[in-house]
Structure 1
Amino acid sequence: MLALLTGLLGLGGCVHNAPVPMYQLDSGTAELPDQSAGMAVLLGPVSVADYLQRETLLQRQPDGSLTASTDGRWAGSLAGDIDQLLLRQLSWRLDSQRLVLAPANPGFTPEIQVLLSISRLDSGPQRPAVLEAQWRVLDKAGQLRDSRLVRLEQPHSGTAADQVRAQSQLLQQLAEQLAGAVKPLSGQPAAAAEEPRKATAAPARAREPVPPKIPMAAPVRTDVEVFRF
């Protein structure tokens, strides 16, 4: 009996201490370009919603609420994984090694800066993976060249592993949109900033002296008759 009780307690301890699976985002088939040349792009700042800045793998429920998953968690910082995934995807799609995460080094002068704000990235066993974000593209003069609000959805099978795969694919689709907005700006001059118009009063023109009006002589009619002899 004592041996049986000891075995049950040991089995319970093993079940309680079972390792929890840990997940990372997948960068896909992004290949780093061989050439060191290419567009100089500054990626960031990339801001991520507060509720995503944790190791817990959150699950979106049918009623819209979020609960912590018991089947897995993120292996490290989700925000850091997002940065690296986007950096590799953009470097591959733009065929450039000259991509830097913000803040950039003092000697780096970007041709383009991409600002990104991710307000939602989650999924659930019965809910699709959803990504909501806003991105802006600035030229080297700091002028806004493009901007967009994005909402993307990706179905999955319901398992934690497949949910992570779906979320990774959403970020890859986002990187494809960003690359499509940045490519046309390659080699283009920065947009000239519009100089504010100064409201200066135009000097009043000196009025030329107006000559006095002379009344026109009107013919005077008379009733006098002239007789010739």
Structure 2
Amino acid sequence: MRRFLFVSGLCLLLCACQHSPKKNYFYLSPLNEKAATQSASNQTSQLIGIGPVDIAEYLMRSQIIESQSDNTLTLADNAYWAEPLDKSIARVISLNLTQLNPSRSFVHFPWRNDSKPRYSLRIHIDQLSRTGRNANINATWELVDNDGKSGTLRRNFLRSIQADSGTKGLAQAYSQLLGELSKEMDDALNKAP
């Protein structure tokens, strides 16, 4: 009888483990545009710092927030970010900016003293959410002259675009929003002295 109960308990435990829902992981991706043609020398002409990237505390989680309304957050079922969101945003922005101008090289915050960039981009994400069928971003970014220790330019970036349903559609919409943010930053970098 003991053996029967032990084997039955073991079978129930194994069956319960087999029915655990599968975790799905999502990541942000860079622009799909063709990079500008690079000069024949293939040398970088400008080193740009990315960071620090600060995001609102409620976004600092591995599980994806599916929607936000009426001061309520809904977490997506079994949907997780493949990497920390602040690092993912820094990675995607540097890849986007590289595609927009391949003569630039990027270093992520914190950088070493021997690789200190002349300019850096500081980013603060206040909101990254879905409300209804729209994906939204509310960010502040600053172009900083590290030699002069001052902010050269500071802008707010507010956008809302339609997002496909599901977590995959949301991750794609966030990637597109970061692409638009990168284009605005690229324009400011092109005008920097």
1:123 aligns with 2:130: yes
Cα deviations by residue, 1:124-157 (Å, 9 ceiling, x for unpaired): 5x34111111111122312322111111112112
> What percent identity do the matched residue pairs reach?
21
1:66 to 67, 73, 87: 73
Matching residue of 1:25: 28
TM-score relative to the length of structure 1: 0.69
Change (3 A) 1:28 1:142: same
Matching residue of 2:5: none
Please identify, of 113-122 and 57-66, the stretch whose mean Cα deviation from structure 2 is larger.
57-66
1:106 aligns with 2:113: yes
The answer for unaligned runs of 5 or more in structure 1 is: 1-8, 189-229
Pairing 1:69-218 to 2, within 5 Å after superposition:
69-123=76-130, 126-139=132-145, 140-185=147-192, 188=193
Provide the rounded CA distance (Å) in 1 between the counterparts of 2:30 and 2:104: 16
Amino acid at match of 2:88: D
Number of aligned pairs? 179
Provide the rounded CA distance (Å) in 2 between the counterparts of 1:150 and 1:89: 16
RMSD: 2.5
The structure richer in strand per residue is 2
Amino acid at match of 1:156: A
Change (3 A) 1:72 1:164: same
Kept in 1: contact 2:66–2:167 (CA 8 A): no
Provide the rounded CA distance (Å) in 2 between the counterparts of 1:176 and 1:121: 18
Change (3 A) 1:80 1:148: same
The structure, 1 or 2, with the larger RCO (C-alpha pairs under 8 Å, 6+ apart) is: 2
Q: Residue 150 of structure 1: SS of its match in structure 2?
A: strand
Aligned-pair CA distance for 1:73: 1.3
Structure having the higher Rg: 1
Provide the rounded CA distance (Å) in 1 between the counterparts of 2:104 and 2:129: 30
Kept in 1: contact 2:143–2:151 (CA 8 A): yes
The answer for unaligned runs of 5 or more in structure 2 is: 1-11
Cα deviations by residue, 1:100-130 (Å, 9 ceiling, x for unpaired): 1111121124221211111111225x34111
TM-score relative to the length of structure 2: 0.81
Kept in 1: contact 2:67–2:75 (CA 8 A): no
Provide the rounded CA distance (Å) in 2 between the counterparts of 1:150 and 1:132: 6
